[in-house]
Amino acid sequence: MSAQSLVRTPRDGMERRRRSWPRRILRAATGLVLVLGLLAVLGAGAQALVQHRNASEHPAPGRLVDVGGHRLHLHAEGPRGTGPTVVLEAGMGTPSTAWAWVQGMVADDVRVISYDRAGIGRSDDRDGPVDPAAEVRDLRTALDAIGEEGPYVLVGHSLGGLFARTFAATYPEDTAGVVLVDPSHEDQYTDLPPELQATVDSASTGVLLMKVASWLGVTLLYNPAEALTVGMPEEAAASYAAWSASPRAASAMAAEFEAFDVIADGARDRILGDLPVRILSADTSDASDDPSQTALLERQLVLHEKLTGLSSDARRTVVHGATHFTVLTDRDHAATVAATVLDLIREVRGS
């Protein structure tokens, strides 16, 4: 072997470094996977402990009712036999505690029931995708099981407005009226201009990031949904915050967001005849400094006006200064909602 053959050339070093890059990348990727796996295990353990504590600190205010294969959580207040009975439908992935102000105000005079859809709050999960027809059957089955009697006034906030309309169209003989509180519209995501579609897409990405953050336990340290509890009654706010930090909350939100078109189709083209329908619109954006959010709000107000075509007895009112969330969480705004519900009930009784 010659001395020349033992000399390492620059090309030799480059070749070795080139061959080593795949190994380095593989080692880095393996390390990242291990770190993420460890964080997931630690996060899951922390979530389990916290959710166990939350369950004891914030017991279910209502009862679990078997509807065939899973149970729904129903919270009933107010005197029986006053009729019609009010049923509250919460928004996308939102537990029934969001109705705390409205339910307390309405319960002084009438029977009022809030509940959690399958997979949300205290209710069990259901196998299979979100199905509006199955959701309203669940609700009707649960009401019958606990001996509640119609007719019902369905009150739906946000996405809950679509479920309320589906219930009214499916069971018209058991529906006395509908109140839609800053409701979703079936066409709100249809034919959006590019800048507004980008805003909706970013919201979808945010929902997915919340799922990952909850699995890793990040939401136990920082939970942006807590901002939505400002103004709520203390116990309801604590219960809502505890729920919103859980992986189930992120999964429920994602499931209903992804199923929006299916949920919308459950209410689409189903006119409610002369059924009393009252529509309440919030006129303030949660992000007024964002032009795209302001544009989405203006578009939503136009769609709300179209909802007056649902019935020959439909009326719309603007709740000035309310946002999509404060229409329920602010006591004064919630009082407007409660007054609208009670006024409709008085009209129904008078007729």
Per-residue model confidence as pLDDT tens digits over 168-190 = 999 999 999 999 999 999 999 99
pTM for the complete prediction?
0.83
Dist. CA 242–CA 53, nearest whole Å: 10
Q: Is the pLDDT of residue 266 over 50?
A: yes
- Domain with residues 74-350, CATH architecture: 3-Layer(aba) Sandwich (3.40)
pLDDT of the residue at 27: 65
Question: What is the share, in percent, of the chain residues with pLDDT greater than 70?
Answer: 79
Dist. CA 35–CA 31, nearest whole Å: 6
| DSSP-assigned letters across all residues of 54-111 | HHHHS--SSEEEE-SSSEEEEEEES-TTSSSEEEEE--TT--GGGGHHHHHHHTTTS-
Q: What is the mean pLDDT of residues 303-312?
A: 98
Q: Report the range out of 42-56, 110-124, 229-243, 274-288 with the highest average pLDDT.
A: 110-124
**Contact of 135 with 127, CB cutoff 8 Å:** no
* For the chain, domain boundaries: 74-350
Q: Is the pLDDT of residue 46 over 50?
A: no
